[in-house]
Every structure is written in structure tokens, then in C-alpha cells.
Amino acid sequence: MSDPIQNRYRAGMNAIAEGLDKAFNGDAQPKKIGFVLLMAEFGQIEGGRVNYISNGERSDMIAMMKEWLARAEGRYSEQGGQA
């Protein structure tokens, strides 16, 4: 897998991620709130590059994004999971 963050965005994305983690979790261990930050240049999203950072395990964050996509696409029901 290629690097999840292009070098020119690394410092900014790390600073934002540290700020989000501190705001949501403080010094709590284990952490209670997980997040994902995706960033791409306008006009470069399709066929371009999406940069990724999170404060959780990759597999957990992928599951979180899949659930969000299902909700956004109307394929998720609160009563029974996938619609």
C-alpha cells in the first residue's frame, strides 16, 4: 500500500489529527472516540489521490467508513443493520 498521506500534507494532517484526538479523548485510555480524516484536492478526487489519517486501528476505521457509506447510500437500517 502506498503512503496514506502525501508528504506535502503530512504536517497539517498530523496536527489536525492530534487536535481532534485531544478534543474528543483528552488523556483517556483507552480512547472512547475514533475518527477518520480524508482529504483530497478539489478536481483531483476522481482518478486522483485521497489522503487518510485516523486515531484507530485501520480495520476498525474501514468498518466505520463502510457503515457510514451504507447509511449515506440508504442501505443501512437502525433496526436491522444492512437494509
* pLDDT the model gives residue 14: 97
Residue 75 located in a structural domain: yes
* pLDDT the model gives residue 2: 74
Burial of 69 (0-12, 13-18, 19+ CB in 10 A): exposed
pLDDT bracket for residue 80 (50, 70, 90): low
Instruction: Please tell me the distance from the alpha carbon of residue 19 to that of residue 53, in angstroms, as a whole number.
Output: 12
User: pLDDT tens across 8-34, in order?
Assistant: 999 999 999 999 999 999 999 999 999
Note if the pTM is more than 0.95.
Answer: no
Domain that holds residue 46: 7-82
User: pLDDT tens across 22-77, in order?
Assistant: 999 999 999 999 999 999 999 877 777 899 999 999 999 999 999 999 999 998 77
Residues in the chain: 83
Q: How many domains does the chain have?
A: 1
Cis geometry, peptide bond prior to residue 4 (ω within 30 degrees of 0): no
Residue 1 located in a structural domain: no
Give the residue among 37, 39, 41, 40 at the shortest CA–CA distance from 17. 37
